[in-house]
């Protein structure tokens, strides 16, 4: 399946069935995590069958139900954009493997969550994983002209990248980012005040980069 289709399919899922993660899927996910950590110096960890962080033994915790698996997005301090960028790469791999997800900065038991932080590292947030009771719903999206300098006649690759960026998860769906193009180069910045906007920026940059099809060289 192409990545744009995966991005369209991905929605935040907060209610999970009690089915354990498929062992082949876990292997494939771990490979993607290892590749991300090697490339970036992040220390993303997959935690499986751990009921405490989301209080999976209780009927609901916040909006969560039955979550026993998650990614601990750990890495060196000051790497918020990378946390978003590489975390989303793993999230889309999970989606491809039929595993639903939800980025979670606030509504989990921070003191109970597992994962190792080495000296100089911190846990940025976690991503809940599992097989959803359903696949989630579309989020409301801004238009490409709300978040960029796009004008009619601009290249298709720019439009594709922007459309993909708008499908990305952002904290409270705030979508506080702005893209600008100068020829073949693009800049992406946080636009306005908000929570976790640098992590959001990394997530949307990953969506843009993959869908524009120009690789990392696109960033000016
Ligand atoms: C950085 C970040 C932090 C988030 N924190 C939480 C959270 O603490 N609790 C929660 O239920 N959802 C959280 N979300 C999920 C967003 O609310 C969700 O991605 C957004 O509303 C868009 O919906 P979608 O993911 O279905 O497209 C977070 C998302 C991001 C990107």
Evaluate the CA torsion angle 209, 214, 216, 220 in order and state its sign: negative
Structural domain tally of the chain? 2
Q: Which atom of ligand 1 is nearest to the CA of 137?
A: 26
Same domain, 28 and 121: yes
Q: Cite the beta strand spans of the chain per DSSP E.
A: 45-47, 69-76, 100-104, 121-130, 177-182, 185-190
Give which of 97, 113, 108 is closest to 33, Cα–Cα: 97
* Among 67, 96, 130, residue at a domain's last position: 130
Alpha carbon of 167 to ligand 1 centroid (Å): 12
Which tens digits make up the pLDDT trace of 3-36?
A: 999 999 999 999 999 999 999 999 999 999 999 9
Mean per-residue pLDDT, 139-150 = 96
Measured distance CA(47)–CA(104) in Å, rounded: 14
Same domain, 27 and 120: yes
DSSP secondary-structure letter at 19? P
143 lies in some domain: no
Same domain, 161 and 56: no
Mean per-residue pLDDT, 152-168 = 98
pLDDT at residue 1 greater than cutoff 90: no
Candidates 8, 12, 87: which one to mutate for ligand 1, based on the most atoms within 8 Å of Cβ?
A: 12
**Three-class DSSP category at 22:** coil
142 lies in some domain: no
Alpha carbon of 125 to ligand 1 centroid (Å): 11
Cα distances from 83 to residues 65, 77, 123, 185, in angstroms, run: 25, 10, 9, 23
The pLDDT value recorded for residue 132 is 98
Asked if 68 contacts 56 with a C-beta cutoff of 8 angstroms, the reply is yes
Alpha carbon of 199 to ligand 1 centroid (Å): 11
Confidence of residue 146 (pLDDT cuts 50, 70, 90): very high
User: Which residue's alpha carbon is at the smallest distance from atom 1 of ligand 1?
Assistant: 171
The pLDDT value recorded for residue 201 is 98
Mean per-residue pLDDT, 141-162 = 98
pLDDT at residue 203 greater than cutoff 80: yes
Measured distance CA(29)–CA(93) in Å, rounded: 7
Mean per-residue pLDDT, 144-170 = 98
145 lies in some domain: no
Same domain, 65 and 113: yes
Q: Which domain holds residue 110?
A: 3-130
Confidence of residue 61 (pLDDT cuts 50, 70, 90): confident
The pLDDT value recorded for residue 196 is 98
Mean per-residue pLDDT, 206-217 = 96
State the chain's mean pLDDT as an integer: 97
The pLDDT value recorded for residue 124 is 98
């Amino acid at each position: 399946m192409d990545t744009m289709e995966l991005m369209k399919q991905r929605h935040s899922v907060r209610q999970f069935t009690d089915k354990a993660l498929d062992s082949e899927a876990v292997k494939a996910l771990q490979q993607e995590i290892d590749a991300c950590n090697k490339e970036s110096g992040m220390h993303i960890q997959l935690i499986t069958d751990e009921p405490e962080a989301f209080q999976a033994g209780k009927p609901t915790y916040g909006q969560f139900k039955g979550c026993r698996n998650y990614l601990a997005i750990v890495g060196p301090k000051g790497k918020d954009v990378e946390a978003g960028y590489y975390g989303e790469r793993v999230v889309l791999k999970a989606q491809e493997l039929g595993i639903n997800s939800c980025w979670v900065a606030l509504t989990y038991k921070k003191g109970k969550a597992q994962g190792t932080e080495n000296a100089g590292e911190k846990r940025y947030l976690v991503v809940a994983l599992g097989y959803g009771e359903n696949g989630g719903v579309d989020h409301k999206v801004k238009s490409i002209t709300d978040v960029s300098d796009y004008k009619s006649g601009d290249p298709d690759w720019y439009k594709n990248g922007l459309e993909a960026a708008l499908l990305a998860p952002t904290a409270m769906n705030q979508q506080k980012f702005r893209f600008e193009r100068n020829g073949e180069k693009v800049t992406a910045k946080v636009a306005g005040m908000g929570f976790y906007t640098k992590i959001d920026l990394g997530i949307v940059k990953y969506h843009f980069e993959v869908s524009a099809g120009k690789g990392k060289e696109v960033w000016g």
